[in-house]
Amino acid sequence: EPVAGSALVIEGVSKAFGGNRALSDVTFTAKPGHVTALIGPNGSGKTTLLNMVCGFYRADGGTISLGGKPLPTRHPHEVARAGVSRTFQTPNIPEGMTVLEVVRSGRSARERVGLVPAVLRLPSYRRARESDRGEAWRLLELVGLEGHAADEAISLPLGMRRLLEVARCLASGAGVLMLDEVASGLDEHEVPRLTNIIRGIRDTGGTIVLVEHNFELIMGLADEVVALAHGQVIAHGNPSEVAANEQVRREYLGA
Ligand code: ADP
């Protein structure tokens, strides 16, 4: 039985840096089996929110919960253990590791199998544990990097490093994937591949939060859009509702 992701519930979250209110009373839910896109102009608070969920910053107020329980956000490792994994705007790939080793390293945070059996279409939890190496290999196949397994990971082109980070997130057993501008710098072949991978993860019950600038990608991929401006949610709904919102058009699309 696939292990579905859990709802990530953000309620009344606020954060200030000195006198600068980066987030004010932000509330939304990222549902399992949905892609929730977080949009907004530069400085609107997207990265701050991601960093807060992932335990890099402490919120001044509000609650963040996962599957009905408060998410332990004191430390990034605790968040990872709870099943929330992220990618970075600049892929965070260590030096001196092969592509296969990077995927296997994702398991170090792992206490659950997360979406792995489902995305790899494995019949059971037992099969998912058949071997670390076998599973890492299949995750590489999922993102189309199996031909690069033995390559030095840090030397891969940007697009491949982004796909590798996604595979590492899955290997960690995460049910929630927070993807920070995951399509930026990808070419016209890589974007559709990434889009299909994200849809596959969503369709197996993953909870996906996408911080993204590419409006076309959002319209094609997101189930729900949360628009931020000046640290506040200014619109929330399906992509066409949000795209039609007057304040979004003014703030974000410059229309
Ligand atoms: P976005 O990701 O939407 O571009 P950010 O979350 O990076 O927005 O920034 C939101 C606001 O918080 C901005 O005014 C930014 O200057 C401020 N900010 C973000 N991180 C820090 C920090 N570490 N220290 C001080 N101010 C910060």
Residues 145-183: pLDDT tens digits? 999 999 999 999 999 999 999 999 999 888 999 999 999
What is the three-state SS of 16-56? Answer: EECCEEEEEEEEEEECCCEEEEEECCCCCCHHHHHHHHCCC
- pTM of the entire structure? 0.89
In a domain, 2, yes or no: no
Task: Answer whether 65's CB lies under 8 Å from 30's CB.
Answer: no
Mutate to test the pocket of ligand 1, among 13, 20, 53 (most ligand atoms within 8 A of CB): 20
Q: What is the ipTM of this complex?
A: 0.97
In a domain, 194, yes or no: yes
For the chain, which ranges sit under pLDDT 70? 1-4, 109-114, 117-118, 121-132, 252-255
For residue 10, the SS3 value is strand
**What CATH number is associated with residue 38?**
3.40.50.300
Q: Which residue reads 């840096």 in tokens?
A: 17
In a domain, 208, yes or no: yes
In a domain, 195, yes or no: yes
- Residue 47 Cα to ligand 1 midpoint, Å, equals 7
Closest ligand 1 atom to the C-alpha of 47? 2
Question: How far apart (Å, rounded) are the C-alpha atoms in residues 234 and 6?
Answer: 25
Task: Answer whether 120's CB lies under 8 Å from 211's CB.
Answer: no
Mutate to test the pocket of ligand 1, among 17, 23, 178 (most ligand atoms within 8 A of CB): 17
Number of domains, the chain: 1
Residue 184 structural domain: 8-251
Residues 20-38: pLDDT tens digits? 999 999 999 999 999 999 9
From the list 225, 249, 227, 250, the residue with the least C-alpha distance to 239 is: 225
In a domain, 76, yes or no: yes
What is the reported pLDDT for 1? 31
Residues with CB under 6 A from ligand 1: 17, 20, 22, 40, 42-48
